[in-house]
Structure 1
């Protein structure tokens, strides 16, 4: 995982990419058993922190990203590039790696 020493507010994804803050992993199972770090699943839900300007079409027209900052999203399990900015974990994704907006 890449570690960056920058401010999140100064991070601007390019094109159709999004910076998503990864939600914390579950500490307990549904049955109430406390999970050790090795048994925790990688979360697939996060909050959009920063959005790129959109994808450029073949005609040269910019297509804006459908997701806004602050939206909770579900993304593909093995998608994106994981980053650590400060003490927080983020993932840099393409818009096509998003599966759903979670309310």
Structure 2
């Protein structure tokens, strides 16, 4: 999904607002073919480790009650673990996932 499409899609997420340090993510489409033209088997298509941040919560609170802001923002591309997300279906076609910010492995800076 292009970064330019993020503001249009972000309006849809006013219905869902992640709480605390939660992040709403749209997983990237699985790669079906390598750059060299090799078609990948279905087993490799099921594991998607990249996603685009669609919405973020306000952040968690520390022991003294101060709010710690989330380190990612809508439009960021991130690396994700295999497990640990809650699946959310907003439309029949659109599936999103909610992760804790601490579960996100890395932010991709390209």
Q: Provide the TM-score with structure 2 as the length reference.
A: 0.76
Report the 3-state secondary structure (helix = DSSP H, G, I; strand = E; otherwise coil) of the residue aligned with 1:83. strand
Write out the 4+ residue segments of structure 1 that deviate beyond 3 Å after TM superposition.
Answer: 29-39
- Structure 1 alignment gaps of length 5 or more: 1-6
- Computed over aligned residues only, the root mean square deviation of the Cα atoms, in angstroms, reads 1.8
Alpha-carbon distance in 2 for matches of 1:66, 1:41: 28
Question: Quick check: which one's helix share is greater?
Answer: 2
Identify, as 1 or 2, the structure richer in strand: 1
The equivalent residue for 1:96 is: 102
Quick one: which of 26, 32, 43 aligns to 2:31?
A: 26
Of 2, 8, 11, which residue of structure 1 is paired with 2:16?
11
Could you tell me how far 1:90 is from its partner in structure 2? Answer: 1.0
Aligned pair count reads 97
More contact order relative to length (CA 8 Å, sep ≥ 6): 1
Structure 2: 5+ residue stretches without partners: 1-11
- Between 49-58 and 39-48, the greater mean CA deviation after superposition: 39-48
Q: How big is each residue's C-alpha offset from its partner over 1:73-101, in whole Å with a ceiling of 9 and x where there is no partner?
A: 00111121122221122110001111111
String of CA shifts for 1:48-95, please: whole Å, max 9, x gaps.
000001001111111111111110000111121122221122110001
CA 39–64 in structure 1, closer or farther in 2 if over 3 Å, else same:
closer
